[in-house]
Structure 1
Amino acid sequence: MTIVRYLVGYVFITSGIMKFVNPELGETFISLNLPFPLQFMTAIAVIEIICGLLIILKKWVQQATFPLIGIMIGAIILTKFPVLNDSFMQFAFNARLDIVMLVLLAYLYFE
């Protein structure tokens, strides 16, 4: 479905661009205690922009969704799972958009 491709592409392109223009996101990556957090954030931003464009242009959609699925799973594990210690409902609320994007990416992968 074309609208799903456009929306998913839009979300990832804007997410990737924000990683370049919003310095606070660098602090978020640093707080995750990942190795080379700023380089990691830059790599993720580039992947999001390129894969988002490929999805919008309907070029190699399956190949473009695969790394984005990995990014979404990583985001859920690193930023949402820790909230499970507090409450499941807080986790469900915080992860709702990530889960929707993950499902839409799976839909595009199998489309």
Structure 2
Amino acid sequence: MNMSFSPMNLIRYVVGYVFIISGLMLLVSPELHSVFMKLPVPTPLYVMYLVAILEIVCGALLLANKEVKIATIPLLIIMTGAILFTKVPVLHNGFLDFAFSARLDIAMLVLLVILYKSNHNYR
């Protein structure tokens, strides 16, 4: 893999890395399993495995600079769901608690939008 360190490539590398590690952790971490089991989604175990696989596959596509625009779509949905299901409930503690809790999710969401809006390969 030809590693170029342009700003857009760095965004792809960082976002891909974050999602690959997140997906792997979903598969091996009992703590994350229990968090998922408490989410108000149908069949949370299957949803967790689907999210993990999508994060790993889409993260790998970002790292490989393949189908970047398509790979960002499921990740945008996952990040939106993460904010809605795990961060919005924190709003009852106040906006500042929500803003602090959601800061990294929002940053990832913005980086995904940047990748989605870019229409060229980053090599």
By the TM > 0.5 criterion, same fold? yes
- Equivalent-residue separation in structure 2 for 1:82 and 1:13 (angstroms): 26
Q: CA deviation at 1:33?
A: 2.9
Residue equivalent to 2:26: 19
Matched residues, percent identical? Answer: 54
How does the TM-score come out when normalised to structure 1?
0.97
* Higher gyration radius (CA): 2
Q: CA deviation at 1:10?
A: 0.1
- Equivalent-residue separation in structure 2 for 1:20 and 1:86 (angstroms): 30
Structure 2 unaligned runs (5+)? 1-7, 119-123
Query: Is 1:67 aligned with 2:77?
Result: no
Residue equivalent to 1:45: 52
- Relative to its length, the structure with more helix (as a share) is 1
Structure 1 unaligned runs (5+)? none
Structure 1 residue ranges (4+ consecutive) displaced by more than 2 angstroms after TM superposition = none
Amino acid at match of 2:21: T
- Residue deviations 1:37-91 (CA, integer Å, cap 9, x gap): 1111000000000000001111000000011000000000000001111100000
How does the TM-score come out when normalised to structure 2?
0.88
| Conserved? CA contact 1:26–1:37, under 8 Å | no
Query: Is 1:10 aligned with 2:17?
Result: yes
Q: Report how many residues are paired.
A: 111
Query: Is 1:77 aligned with 2:84?
Result: yes
